[in-house]
Chain A
């Protein structure tokens, strides 16, 4: 079975983009359009890594990340924040919430794919 990535983003086009990028690199992709749906999918299908947007309706990405870390079953699940926020303080917030990595949009595939490989190797 391949490596399974969960993409969480409220913007349909962004989800499609990450999905295509990841599939072209032979990952299996599942998607969720908001924080609640993401936590449900994580509990059900146990992805290997999560790509998480920050600004979403309802629960924001930081909160999703904190909840992933609080649950001992998912505390070790690798999380990469992929967001159009780009300030240093945004990065600090993401790392404080427990993210392994923080990438700003526009997403460069030559940054994203190595980041995924690096984090999965460590995990």
Chain B
């Protein structure tokens, strides 16, 4: 008779010990789950980072291959007349590769600063018309070589805006050289600029190239998108031009979007806000986010 309570007491204490252990286990499991979630997140970030590093490494190694390889060849040459001619060719390859490398490095620096939010603009009150005027000559040679026609249409009353002129030029040069690259020989390229109601400006570069699908647009605006999508690629270069251009536009409180259909050419539209709200405006963070439904520039019907 006395054994039962003792037995029960033993069971109770056993149960309470179980319950304690169970509580501990549950807590530990919870912590584990939280740790797993954190790990998944950091794995994803790491994968993105290693994809970025891998691509960066590839883009740096390609021109370095030419620079080191041709310098080695020159060093091993015997001084003959034939060698002198070859040397001149090799020097051209080395020089081109060096300049390309410089472009890759400054692209990588730009996109890193944009993505980490440490990009600093050096702004001044600038005439948008002047900036357009400074940008066009940079790409004129390329456009001439393909015998394309560039038409520039500026609406009256183009504003002066508080912008970083070097960076706006960089955007326009990128858009114009893309337009030239994707427009066939003897094709037409249009640059339209108008003043907006808010005192800002909209600049559209319209090409008559092959056009883009929505998927291609998304890839073109993603840093290293064209490389990440697959190992084959459609165009030379880092594929950073457009992501940088959009980052720079957003840094100014503006935006950049692409409007296109396969076969119908592509319009790249840059919007810059007026000076009025320049103090309160916040740059749209880089990356992510769907492009908002664009309003067509009012005079693009001719394009």
Contacts and interface: CB of A to CB of B under 8 A. Distances in A.
Interface of A: 11, 13-14, 16-17, 20-21, 24, 54-62, 83-87, 104-107, 109
B73 interface: yes
Given A56-B233, A57-B233, A84-B58, 8 more contacts: A13-B97, A55-B231, A56-B232, A83-B58, A84-B65, A86-B57, A105-B64, A109-B72
A106 B62 CA distance: 7
Nearest to A35: B232
Given A11-B62, A13-B97, A104-B61, A21 B69 contact: yes
B65 A14 contact: yes
Contacts of A83: 58
B144 interface: no
A48 B74 CA distance: 28
Contacts, number: 71
10 contacts: A14-B66, A17-B65, A20-B73, A54-B231, A55-B227, A84-B59, A86-B57, A105-B62, A107-B65, A109-B72
A58 B58 contact: no
B179 to A, nearest CB: 20
A61 B58 CA distance: 15
B193 to A, nearest CB: 34
A13 B227 CA distance: 20
A15 to B, nearest CB: 10
Interface centre among A11, A17, A104, A109 (most CB of B within 10 A): A17
Interface string B72-92: 110010000000001000000
Interface size class of B (residues with CB under 8 A): 20 to 34
B61 A106 contact: yes
Contacts of B182: none
Contacts of A61: 231
A24 B73 contact: yes
Nearest to A109: B72
Most A CB atoms within 10 A — which of B66, B227, B230?
B66
Interface string B108-131: 000000000000000000000000
B280 interface: no
Nearest to B227: A55
Contact of B93 (A16, A59, A87): A16
B232 A87 contact: no
A106 B59 CA distance: 11
Contacts of A55: 58, 227, 231-233
A17 B97 CA distance: 12
B68 interface: yes
B76 A17 contact: no
